[in-house]
């Protein structure tokens, strides 16, 4: 159902808030600039955003005393795409910096432009030393702003020119035109991850109480504010068909229908693990992601046994907060996309994955 209360069945062209599945698209777009020689992965971010060169790191000693110290080394462009730049997220709770993010309203103020978002972020300290750990964060939002700085173009225009237009992704954008809004799927779950002061522990508590209801995500994820609401870590609306065209391009080695978006070797670089073994397993909010490393914008499968799900080494992809999910398995020549609008503890996307792999007949 697209809308359970109104009895509306899910159409094939339903539009979804894809949350963090925005990240692989933004990183792919940034890498088109890499292919033009506009930066290297080791280039300091401050080369393009000087304000981030002055950011300190908030550290605590064994007695709980806090102090802001200089970074041991500059954060790099590669750090941003690999979630190793030292940033965090508002809904996490493992650093005092998370609370600073919530107090600043970083994630739920859709009236801020991307530039203003980064300016506000630059006022706050880092949660960790750059390169010292993998930590899920707003770093892809900074990567999105890099696109604007390097290209001199608004993010939405750049994505349209480099990704959406060439791939024929006709329903993917940071807004939903009024004529298309009847196709927008309703959101369900315990509570909105983008709501003010929302944390994972609050979400877990609501899930444990059995809360499952329809809610309005418009305040944190608006359909009608493209002038300001463009982000790198979330924010895009898309359809199953549109995202499949993006995934198919990745599976094809960077081309689709005779149009080249990225080179094959660039994609190999993007989907090679960048996280040292000592910093594995990946973990978000206390939940481990076993068997996976992380490349540039997407996780990559290293060990099928540790992951505990069917797949192949080298498979890559990512998911969104509303249980949207995609992956590409080059070994099986497979790309898959799953869309729903559910923020909850179960993982229907993993059920879908099991169904896909069991269907393979050699």
**Given pLDDT bands bounded at 50, 70 and 90, which one contains residue 140?**
very high
Query: Region 41-64: what's the mean pLDDT?
Result: 93
For the chain, give the percent of residues with pLDDT over 70. Answer: 100
pLDDT value at 63 more than 90: no
The owner of tokens 């609401």 is 229
Backbone angles phi, psi at 196, to 5 degrees: -55, 135
Contact 134, 279 (CB under 8 A): yes
Q: How many CB atoms lie within 10 A of CB 3?
A: 17
Q: How far is CA 173 from CA 167, 229, 235, in A?
A: 13, 10, 8
For 11-33, how does the pLDDT look when each residue is reduced to its tens digit (9 = 90+)? 999 999 999 999 999 999 999 99
Read out DSSP for 95-110?
A: SHHHHHHHHHTTTT-T
CA distance 90 to 198: 8
Average pLDDT over every residue of 36-43: 98
The pLDDT of residue 203? 87
Residue environment code for 322-338, b if the CB has 16+ CB neighbours within 10 A, otherwise e: bbbbbbbbbebebbbbb
Please tell me the predicted confidence (pLDDT) of residue 283: 97
| Contact assessment for residue 280 and residue 293, using Cβ atoms and an 8 Å cutoff | yes
Distance CA 320, CA 71 (A): 31
Residue 109 to residue 235: CA distance in whole angstroms: 12
pTM: predicted TM-score of the whole model, two decimal places: 0.97
Average pLDDT, the chain: 95
The per-type count for the chain, helices as H runs and strands as E runs, is: 12, 16
- C-alpha–C-alpha distance, residues 260 and 134, integer Å: 31
User: What sign does the dihedral 216-198-171-342 (CA atoms) show?
Assistant: negative
The predicted model gives 232-256 an average pLDDT of: 98
Question: Residue 142: what pLDDT?
Answer: 98
Q: Which residues are within 8 A (CB) of 55 and not within 5 positions of it... i.e. 6 or more apart? A: 71, 122, 124, 125, 126
Amino acid 260: pLDDT: 98
Q: Is pLDDT at 62 greater than 90 in this prediction?
A: no
Given a cut of 80, is residue 180 above it in pLDDT? yes
pLDDT score for 154: 97
Which strand (E) or helix (H) includes residue 326? strand 325-329
The two structure tokens encoding residue 181: 């809004």
Alpha-carbon dihedral 106, 110, 113, 118, rounded to 10 degrees: 10
Residue 358 has pLDDT above 80, yes or no: yes
- CA 280/CA 269 separation, integer angstroms: 19
| pLDDT of amino acid 346 | 72
Question: 232 falls in which pLDDT band (50, 70, 90)?
Answer: very high
């Amino acid at each position: 159902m697209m809308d359970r209360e109104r009895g509306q069945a899910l159409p094939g062209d339903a539009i979804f808030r894809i949350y963090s599945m925005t990240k692989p698209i933004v990183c792919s777009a940034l890498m088109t600039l890499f292919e033009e020689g506009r930066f290297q992965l080791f280039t300091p971010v401050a080369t393009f955003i000087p304000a981030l060169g002055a950011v300190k790191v908030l550290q605590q000693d064994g007695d709980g005393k806090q102090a802001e110290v200089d970074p041991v080394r500059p954060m790099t462009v590669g750090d941003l795409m690999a979630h190793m730049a030292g940033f965090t997220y508002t809904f996490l709770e493992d650093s005092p910096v998370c609370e600073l993010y919530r107090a600043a309203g970083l994630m739920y103020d859709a009236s801020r432009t991307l530039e203003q978002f980064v300016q506000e972020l630059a006022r706050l300290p880092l949660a960790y030393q750059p390169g010292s750990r993998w930590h899920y964060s707003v770093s892809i939002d900074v990567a999105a702003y890099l696109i604007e700085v390097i290209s001199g173009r608004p993010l939405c225009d750049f994505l349209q020119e480099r990704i959406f237009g060439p791939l024929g992704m006709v329903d993917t954008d940071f807004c939903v035109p009024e004529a298309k809004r009847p196709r927008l799927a309703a959101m369900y779950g315990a509570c909105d991850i983008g709501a003010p002061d929302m944390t994972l522990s609050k979400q877990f508590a609501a899930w444990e109480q059995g809360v499952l209801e329809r809610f309005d995500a418009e305040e944190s994820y608006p359909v009608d504010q493209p002038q300001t609401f463009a982000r790198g870590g979330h924010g895009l609306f898309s359809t199953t068909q549109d995202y499949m065209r993006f995934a198919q391009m990745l599976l094809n080695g960077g081309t689709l229908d005779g149009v080249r978006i990225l080179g094959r070797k660039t994609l190999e670089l993007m989907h090679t693990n960048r996280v040292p073994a000592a910093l594995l397993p990946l973990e978000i909010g206390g939940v481990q992601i076993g068997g996976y490393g992380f490349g540039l914008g997407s996780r990559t499968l290293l060990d099928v046994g540790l992951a505990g799900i069917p797949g192949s080494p080298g498979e890559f992809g990512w998911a969104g907060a509303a249980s949207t999910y995609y992956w590409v398995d080059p070994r099986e020549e497979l790309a898959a996309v799953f869309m729903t609008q559910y923020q909850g503890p179960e993982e229907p996307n993993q059920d879908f994955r099991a169904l896909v792999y069991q269907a393979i007949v050699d």
